[in-house]
């Protein structure tokens, strides 16, 4: 049935919602060359060979946001584009953040910001948070 449909095989990914405290999260403003603009996003990335989703989430949190998590918990998972890709994104929540050194990849242009729930909702309602995985993650947390 799927013999003639182009299919992108993806190793999977992880996203992490970093809670600075009960009322604030760390959010990224990241430039995305594919669409030529900045997006508000949460730290996320592709699983490396043999890497667990939890380890990937922790790695991306430090690389992109400059924090380590004292505790993480899995919230769920999503299939962002099941019509043409096998990608599955595992979504985690991070608490008890500890500052750490950032090490974004060479092609990543990222600004790290702290945002309250009210700011997240306002950004979403004004169309400034339109990254699907980020919207799903905030929905899992009950913030949207």
Residue 65: per-residue pLDDT: 96
| pLDDT, average across residues 68-96 | 97
Residue 100: per-residue pLDDT: 96
Residue 129 counted as domain residue = yes
Residue 81 counted as domain residue = yes
Residue 111 counted as domain residue = yes
**Average per-residue pLDDT for the chain:** 95
Residue 7 counted as domain residue = no
For residue 2, pLDDT beyond 70: no
Instruction: Using a pLDDT cut of 70, give the percent of the chain over it.
Output: 98
Range of the domain at 84: 13-141
Distances (CA, A) of 70 to 21, 26, 93: 12, 15, 11
Q: What phi and psi, each to the nearest 5 degrees, are found at residue 28?
A: -110, 145
| CATH number of the domain where residue 49 is located | 3.90.79.10
Residue 3 counted as domain residue = no
**pLDDT band at residue 1 using 50, 70 and 90 as cut-offs:** low
Residue 4 counted as domain residue = no
| Helical H segments across the chain, by residue range | 53-60, 117-125, 132-141
Residue 108: per-residue pLDDT: 80
Total domains in the chain come to: 1
Contact call for residues 111 and 43 (beta carbons, < 8 A): no
Residue 122 counted as domain residue = yes
**pLDDT band at residue 85 using 50, 70 and 90 as cut-offs:** very high
Predicted confidence (pLDDT) per residue in 107-144, tens digit: 788 999 999 999 999 999 999 999 999 999 999 999 99
| pLDDT, average across residues 52-61 | 98
Residue 8 counted as domain residue = no
């Amino acid at each position: 049935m799927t013999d003639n449909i182009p299919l992108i095989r993806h190793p999977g990914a992880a996203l992490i919602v970093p809670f600075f405290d009960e009322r604030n999260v760390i959010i990224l403003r990241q430039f995305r060359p594919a669409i030529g603009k900045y997006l508000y996003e949460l730290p996320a990335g592709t699983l490396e060979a043999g890497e667990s989703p939890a380890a990937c989430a922790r790695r991306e949190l430090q690389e992109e946001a400059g924090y380590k998590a004292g505790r993480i918990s899995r919230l769920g998972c999503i299939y962002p584009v099941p019509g043409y890709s096998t990608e599955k994104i595992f979504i985690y929540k991070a608490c008890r953040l500890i500052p750490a050194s950032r090490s974004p990849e060479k092609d990543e242009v990222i600004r790290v910001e702290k945002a309250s729930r009210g700011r997240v909702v306002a950004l979403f309602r004004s169309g400034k948070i339109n990254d699907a995985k980020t919207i799903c993650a905030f929905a899992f947390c009950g913030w949207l």
